[in-house]
Amino acid sequence: MEQIPGILIVEDEPITALDIKGILEQSGYRVAGIAETGERALEIVRTEPPDLILMDIILGGTMNGIELATAIKERHRIPIIYITSLSDASTFARTLSTDPYGYITKPLDTTMLTHMIDLALYKQRIAATLHESEARFRAIIDQLPLAVSLYTPDGVLTDVNTAWETIWGLDPQEQIGRFNIRNHEPVISRGLQNYIDEAFRGESVIIPEMTVERPPDRPGGAPRPMILRCRAFPILEKGGAIQSIVFLHEDITERKQAEEQALYYSMFDNLTGLPNREVFATRLHTEIMKSKRRGNEYIFGVMCLGTDRFKNINEMHGPVTGDKLLKEIAKRLKTTFRADDLVARLEGDKFIVLLSDIKTADDISSIVRKTEDAFRAPLTAAGIELTVSMTIGVCLYPNDGDKAEALIKNSEAALYMAKQRGTGTYHLYDHTMHEQTIHNLRLEKDLVVAIDNQEFRAFYQPKVNREGAIVGMESLIRWQSPARGLVPPLHFIPLAEKNGLIKDIGYIIMYESCRQTKEWQTMGLPPLKVAVNLSSFQFRQPCLIDKIKEILSVTGLDPQWLEFEITESGIMENEKESIGKLNEINALGVSISIDDFGTGYSSLSKLKSLPIDTIKIDKSFVDDLPHDATSVNIATTIIDLAHNLGFKVVAEGVETKEQIDFLLYLGCDQFQGYYYSKPLPSDEFRKKLSTA
């Protein structure tokens, strides 16, 4: 239900005030109050503002009606009608400053009064609606991310929104009425002035990206270039004359910078600044097209370079130093080759070079020598002087491929074959090596993915004592590949040892073996010592001891239940360093076993100074027992001398009852092989333990 408007009567004559009150109530209005003075009227307005005020000019108190209306107008939008006996022109003129809604002289005409009140209330409703619409429109404009500015037909700024203030960093009050866009040359470049003139001729225009200068943020500061995108259109009066010009503009500086940066990163390597593989392939395609236009007389080469021992440098000095070294290598390569050649980063520590316009295939040899010579001087990375060498593979167009990707892959294949022969070597692509090389490259990439996806599994083979009871187990690695199925270790371990991936694979199996052993102990199964193989590469890693401590801590396995099997050749590669590392492992409480004993060049007398617990007789000496005299003599000697030195002896690879009986006769302590069990996945091994 609509509320009846409330009217405040301000009249110092009580009888006149009551007469007016009666007229209003008889006409259906609600009287909100009667005030004899301006002070009282202000109190009522402050506590409960009326919808309209009927006010005499002559009032009791310290202020007259005009002064009261002025005070009310400062805080409220309430329509005021003067009711007064004053009819002179000067008084009427003074009331105009208060913007009254009406002026009625006494004595009152009732009909005129009610019409004046109805008209005043109607005008107030219209004004309130317009004010609300303006406020809503202003709120919307101020929320726009676009800067909005209005100009007179002469170009003078008349209004702006909040985004305009943010973009320009200026105080609108200082700019409105002063700034003229049509003659402000420092901001608008001369080349864009034509667009501005079109807008002020009444045309809608879209101004292309323009660079302007944003005023300094602080006194004495430098202007900042800013890229704007702008649109302008006129607001026309009914007759077609231009009332004002609206400019909409947005600051796209950051967006343009982000686009340029994204384009850069799509074409260049983020670390070295060299072109990436995609850019290199595009350039290769261009070279191929150039050669075809010349009838394939144009020969060029693709050289793939791998940084030797980069993983070791990365692990020894940290990835920050490794990254800085790659940047220095990139600089060295850029200064080594001609301007017509293209040096790019392929991936990781591999770089690739387009050797343009080679006269003959023999030129490759001199280019390779030049490259090798370029890296004889050491590089400095993170304050550390490092000497590096590059292994190089090269293929030639058109003999070794007629497409960009084929040339890139074949240069990688040549690099891979060079690495097979050792560091700092060079190999020219040969078709005969293609299939094996591609197979190995794919296998290597699949191994990297397998490490990331945790595709390696631990299988367990039991070790039994002389009575046939399970007293331990060896953890053996298997690769459960989604594409290749279950891959046995002989198919991938040699490659993993050559390229260093065996380190990551070894830690995966070490962790899983410790975790699984602890889990079985927690389930209440008999506690068994798990033997984990340490490759020579992994044994040489500086972080090995810390990694062992970390895995034991994370899994909660007591060190007494862990044993490492290390080949004698792995220990003897660097005897002095190996002894120190074995002592550190022994100090942790972890057991050490020498695997494949008898196949190397060491002796039991040399091993007696090492902190080892167990000797494993290699399967090659067990296979021919008890019929081969040499195998019998070796097995007998190993067992006797090992016992004399305090070592336990495990025979691996036992497959027959005859072998077991003979090894029992010789006094062998433990046995491992297919005679008892093949290596089993964890769930099957657990069942075997449960039923043993």
The boundaries of the domain holding residue 608 are 450-691
Which has more pLDDT, 498 or 619? Answer: 619
User: Is 443 a member of any domain?
Assistant: no
User: Is 383 a member of any domain?
Assistant: yes
User: What mean pLDDT comes out for the span 32-44?
Assistant: 88
User: Is 83 a member of any domain?
Assistant: yes
Q: Does residue 127 sit in the same domain as residue 169?
A: no
Contacts of 450 (CB under 8 A, 6+ apart): 456, 479, 481
Q: Does residue 60 sit in the same domain as residue 203?
A: no
Domain CATH code at residue 54: 3.40.50.2300
Q: Does residue 559 sit in the same domain as residue 661?
A: yes
Q: Where is the domain boundary, 90, 120, 140?
A: 140
Q: Where is the domain boundary, 429, 458, 480?
A: 429
Range from 37-41, 141-145, 357-361 that averages highest in pLDDT: 37-41
Q: Among residues of the chain, what percentage have pLDDT more than 90?
A: 29
User: Is 642 a member of any domain?
Assistant: yes
Q: Does residue 163 sit in the same domain as residue 99?
A: no
Domain CATH code at residue 174: 3.30.450.20
Cβ atoms 643, 649 nearer than 8 A: yes
Residue 659 has pLDDT above 60, yes or no: yes
The full length of the chain comes to: 692
Q: Does residue 170 sit in the same domain as residue 237?
A: yes
User: What mean pLDDT comes out for the span 502-516?
Assistant: 93
pLDDT at 131: 66
Predicted confidence (pLDDT) per residue in 266-302, tens digit: 788 889 999 999 999 989 988 888 888 776 567 889 9
pLDDT class for 514, splitting at 50, 70, 90?
Answer: very high
Range from 5-9, 29-33, 160-164, 657-661 that averages highest in pLDDT: 657-661
pLDDT at 186: 46
Residue 464 has pLDDT above 90, yes or no: yes
Q: How far is CA 223 from CA 70, 169, 186, 187, in A?
A: 46, 11, 11, 10
User: Is 113 a member of any domain?
Assistant: yes
| pTM higher than 0.85 | no
Domain CATH code at residue 458: 3.20.20.450
Contacts of 109 (CB under 8 A, 6+ apart): none
Range from 210-214, 618-622, 674-678 that averages highest in pLDDT: 674-678
Residue in 209, 239, 214 with CA at minimum distance from that of residue 224:
214
Range from 248-257, 370-379, 602-611 that averages highest in pLDDT: 370-379
Q: Does residue 606 sit in the same domain as residue 674?
A: yes
Contacts of 457 (CB under 8 A, 6+ apart): 477, 478, 479, 480, 512, 681, 682
pLDDT at 593: 92
User: Is 31 a member of any domain?
Assistant: yes
Predicted confidence (pLDDT) per residue in 594-635, tens digit: 887 765 545 555 677 788 899 998 888 898 888 888 888 888
pLDDT class for 417, splitting at 50, 70, 90?
Answer: confident
**Nearest-5° angle of CA 78, CA 80, CA 86?**
165
User: Residue 653 region, left (φ>0) first, then alpha (ψ -120 to 50), else beta?
Assistant: left
Q: Does residue 243 sit in the same domain as residue 273?
A: no
Q: Where is the domain boundary, 85, 113, 140?
A: 140
Q: Does residue 246 sit in the same domain as residue 281?
A: no
pLDDT at 676: 93
Range from 129-138, 195-204, 593-602, 603-612 that averages highest in pLDDT: 195-204
User: Is 22 a member of any domain?
Assistant: yes
In total, how many domains does the chain have?
4
Segments in 144-168 forming alpha helices (H): 162-168
Query: Please, what is the average pLDDT of the chain?
Result: 85
pLDDT at 245: 86
pLDDT at 360: 67
H or E element, residue 120: helix 110-143
Segments in 192-252 forming alpha helices (H): 193-200
Q: Does residue 96 sit in the same domain as residue 149?
A: no
Q: Does residue 150 sit in the same domain as residue 123?
A: no
Residue in 602, 595, 607, 593 with CA at minimum distance from that of residue 562:
593
Q: Does residue 455 sit in the same domain as residue 363?
A: no
Q: What is the per-residue burial (b if ≥16 Cβ within 10 Å, else e) of 241-272? A: ebeebbbbbbbebeeeeeeeeeeeeeebbeeb
Domain CATH code at residue 328: 3.30.70.270
H or E element, residue 522: helix 502-522
User: Is 434 a member of any domain?
Assistant: no
How many angstroms separate the CA atoms of 515 and 458, rounded? 11
Least confident of 82-86, 235-239, 248-252, 602-606: 602-606
Q: Among residues of the chain, what percentage have pLDDT more than 70?
A: 92
Q: Does residue 102 sit in the same domain as residue 161?
A: no
Phi, psi of 468 (to 5 degrees): 90, 10
Range from 167-181, 360-374, 441-455 that averages highest in pLDDT: 441-455
**Nearest-5° angle of CA 546, CA 552, CA 553?**
85
pLDDT at 296: 59
Phi, psi of 76 (to 5 degrees): -135, 155
Residue 190 has pLDDT above 60, yes or no: no
